[in-house]
Chains A and B, each alone.
With several copies, the nearest count.
Chain A
Amino acid sequence: MENTKKVDMSVEIAGIKLKNPVMTSSGTCGYGRDYLDIWSPAELGAIMVKAVSIEPRNGNPPPRIAEIPSGVLNSIGLQNPGVRHFIETDLPWLKSIGATVVTNVVGYTMDDYAACVELLDETDVDMIELNISCPNVAGKPIGADPEAAETLTARIRKITKKPIIVKLSPNVTSISDIALAAEAGGADAVSLINCPMGMRINIQTRRPMLANITGGMSGPAIFPLALRMVWQTAKAVKISVLGGGGIVKWEDAAEMMMAGADAVFIGAGLFYYPATPLKVIEGLEKYCLDNNLSNVSMITDSLITDR
């Protein structure tokens, strides 16, 4: 339609307009200050900050990081200074520099989640992401149980009018079932995938490489798994889908959007090249120009499956 050769890079997620479809994922970009020399959170579609909980958490003992083929294994254990600290220090700063902020929330119990969101509801945070993948919540993780996922989402829905994103765990038989449950509970979007659980052993010491024994996999190794899950989920739900897992270059982001993601998030890609989000934004823009797409969102769901 347009005659100018400009690409509209903005996308709309749950009624919120993002500058572009590229976010940095929770737990890999802190609270936005650590990569300032390379990029500002204001340049991103949104920053998904490290999980916050109602009380500060110590996290797991070190070592917390191990290498895996084409990826990283981590067991941070959700160390964070607590939601109040975030609201007092990081959030005002992030908003002051013009960032769109997604706050990742965890709890041991549903009450924990609720308490956190009550506090966040009174702030100018843009979206709330419920991290239901944490495996430590009352035995079976909420993220593996559609009923629990729906119950939690519905409860949070009553507390806040802010957009709710439910972050899905890949460690399930059917991720789209959990996505549908989140949708039924009133979520505005789902984000996926969180880390598949993995393990490594040091054969010299015969001990696990992580003090916590198992940890979450991230990086290119999980990309095909994430892509499949995003595709299945995008087909199943009507709400927005934020896709990530193993994205390290713009081509990966394009695949993720073609599979149905409305926006993408980058985690381990930051460890590889801190400037990855900027390169991905640039690459997607160029792809649109080369393919005469006026809006980046036209990539979403453009997969052709009939042969």
Chain B
Amino acid sequence: MLDKTVKVIENRLLSEKGKVYSLKLNSPELADGCLPGQFFEIKVGGNDSRFILRRPFSVAFCDDKTVTIRYNVVGAGTEWLSRITPGHELDVLGPLGHGWPIDKSKKTLLVGGSTGIFSVLGAASRLGNMSGAVLGFCSCELVNSVEDFEAFGSTVSVITEDGSSGRKGLITELVKEELEKIKYDLIFVCGSTMMMKNVAAVVKPYGIDCYVSMEERMACGVGACMGCVVKLKSDNEQGWEYKRACAEGPVFNASEVIW
């Protein structure tokens, strides 16, 4: 974990209506040893800003020298980020947390909903043709990064709630079909809590190991504040405990999560 001031190489609009951006950062140090499913805390707002909290973003992919994250503009912080131009610098803390339990010998189903696709995109970048991806969006304007999954070797299906792109319906249907069609050894899911809960329920009967990435509201991002806890099964007396998404997570085994 490092806190670095790094140069922006690219901050590119991927999808006009959905306001999805791809942000490429120049930092061999941050790229070094950074794993899919891990995340960075980026300082948003200039020196005079009213923001004290950094914003967490998953590693979308990285190479030797650069880290790429992708983000949706959803509020004031990401709005600010979207206005940053190449050459400017950002304060970036990371890599943080524990990523996906990637195993290149296992056929892995990646399930991503809206901004959750960026975290599983990281997994796709390492899995070559060993991954299939099921991506869900509200509507077609938000659809993005499909080519990137494909370029990494993943076979992709898209579903939108309003049917404006790909299939119409809920992501759980598509997950079920995919599992019926192909034998997967492992499943990684990232999306809203409700979506992950539903997907985990659909997956359960298949007995396949399923991991979810819990994107909780965070303050420190490093495990110091107990702000980002997730309720997990435990062998303590009460049978559960709160664990930190930023430190023990964000990736947890779905079977441990108390939804």
Give chain A's interface residues, CB within 8 Å of chain B.
27-30, 33-35, 37-38, 50, 58-59, 61-67, 69-72, 74, 76, 79, 219-220, 248, 268, 270-275
Q: A271, B50: Cβ atoms under 8 Å?
A: no
Out of A37, A38, A248, A275, which one reaches B52, CB within 8 Å?
A248
Which residues of the partner chain A approach B50 to less than 8 Å between Cβ atoms?
A: 69-70, 220
Contact in complex: B219, A37 (CB < 8 Å): no
Contact B1 A65 (CB under 8 A): no
Asked whether, in the complex, the Cβ of B224 is within 8 Å of the Cβ of A28, the reply is yes
* Interchain CB contact under 8 A, B247 and A64: no
Q: Contact between A271 and B52 (Cβ–Cβ < 8 Å)?
A: yes
Q: Are B223 and A59 in contact, with the CB atoms below 8 A?
A: no
Chain B interface, >50% SS class = loop
A291 nearest CB across to chain B (Å): 20
In the bound assembly, the distance between CA atoms of A27 and B225 in angstroms comes to 6
Check B227–A76 contact: CB distance below 8 A.
yes
Chain A residues near B230 (CB-CB < 8 A):
62
For A268, give its contact among B52, B222, B223, B242 (CB under 8 Å): B52
Asked if A62 and B224 make an inter-chain contact with CB atoms under 8 angstroms apart, the answer reads no
Whether B242 and A271, one on each chain, are in contact in the complex, defined by CB atoms closer than 8 angstroms, is: no
Interface presence of B54 (CB below 8 A) = yes
From A30, A69, A71, A274, B93 is in contact (CB under 8 Å) with A274
- Check if B223 sits within 8 Å of A72, measured CB to CB: no
Cα A53 to Cα B98 in complex, Å, equals 29
If A34-B247, A38-B1, A271-B53 touch, whether A64 touches B226 (CB-CB below 8 Å) is: yes
Contact of A72 among B219, B221, B229 (CB under 8 A): B219
B3 adjacent to A64 (CB under 8 Å): no
Please give the distance in Å from A38's CB to the nearest CB on chain B. Answer: 6
Instruction: List the A side residues contacting B229 at CB < 8 Å.
Output: 59, 62, 64, 79
Look across to chain A and name the residue whose beta carbon is closest to the beta carbon of B77.
Answer: A67
Report whether B218 and A274 are in contact in the complex, using a CB–CB cutoff of 8 Å: no
The answer to whether B43 and A34 have CB atoms under 8 Å apart is no
The answer to whether B32 has its CB under 8 Å from any CB of chain A is no
- List residues of chain A with CB within 8 A of the CB of B220: 28, 34, 270-271, 274
Q: In whole angstroms, what is the CA distance A62 to B224 when docked? A: 16
Q: Determine whether the beta carbon of B219 is less than 8 Å from that of A271.
A: yes
Query: Is A65 within 8 A of B3, CB to CB?
Result: no
User: Known contacts being A37-B1, A273-B3, is A30 close to B242, with CB within 8 Å?
Assistant: no
Q: Across the interface, do A76 and B225 meet the contact criterion of CB distance under 8 Å? A: yes
B interface list, Cβ under 8 A from A: 1-3, 43, 50-54, 91, 93, 216-231, 238, 241-242, 247
A272 lies within 8 A of B52 (CB): yes
Known A38-B1, A58-B242, A65-B219; contact A74-B225, beta-carbon cutoff 8 A: yes
The A interface, classified by DSSP as helix, strand, loop or mixed, is loop
Please indicate the chain B residues that have their CB under 8 angstroms from the CB of A69 in the complex: 50
Do A34 and B223 form a contact, CB below 8 Å, given A58-B241, A220-B52, A272-B43? yes
Instruction: Contacts A35-B222, A37-B2, A59-B226 given; indicate if A79 touches B52 (C-beta within 8 A).
Output: no
A274 CA to B43 CA in the complex, in Å? 11
A72→B222 CA distance, assembly (Å): 16
Q: Chain B residues near A70 (CB, 8 Å)?
A: 50, 52
Q: A271-B52, A272-B52 are in contact. Are A28 and B242 (CB under 8 A)?
A: no
Give A67 to B45 CA distance when docked, in angstroms: 13
* Given A37-B2, A220-B50, A273-B3, CB of A63 within 8 Å of CB of B217: yes
Of B2, B54, B91, which one neighbours A271 at CB under 8 angstroms? B54
Q: Is the CB of A62 within 8 A of B228?
A: yes
A35-B224 in contact given A70-B52, A273-B3 (Cβ < 8 Å): yes
- B241 (CB) vs chain A CBs: closest residue: A58
Bound complex: CA A275 to CA B227 (Å) = 19
Q: Which residues of A contact B54 (CB under 8 A)?
A: 271-272
A64 touches B227 (CB 8 A): yes
A38: chain B residues at CB < 8 Å are 1, 3
Q: When the two chains form their complex, are residues A30 and B3 in contact, meaning their CB atoms are under 8 A apart? A: no
Chain B residues with Cβ under 8 A from A58's Cβ?
238, 241-242
Q: Which B residues are in CB contact (< 8 Å) with A29? A: 224
Q: Are A59 and B222 in contact (CB under 8 A)?
A: no
> Is the pair B52, A64 in contact by a Cβ cutoff of 8 Å?
no
* Contact present for A30 and B217 (CB under 8 Å): no
Give the nearest-CB partner of B247 in chain A.
Answer: A34
- Is there contact, CB below 8 Å, between B219 and A74? yes
Please state if A34 and B222 are interface contacts (CB–CB under 8 Å). yes
| A67 and B227 contact, CB distance less than 8 A | no
Q: Is the CB of B242 within 8 A of A79?
A: yes
- Closest 4 pairs (CB-CB, A-B): A34-B224, A65-B227, A30-B224, A34-B223
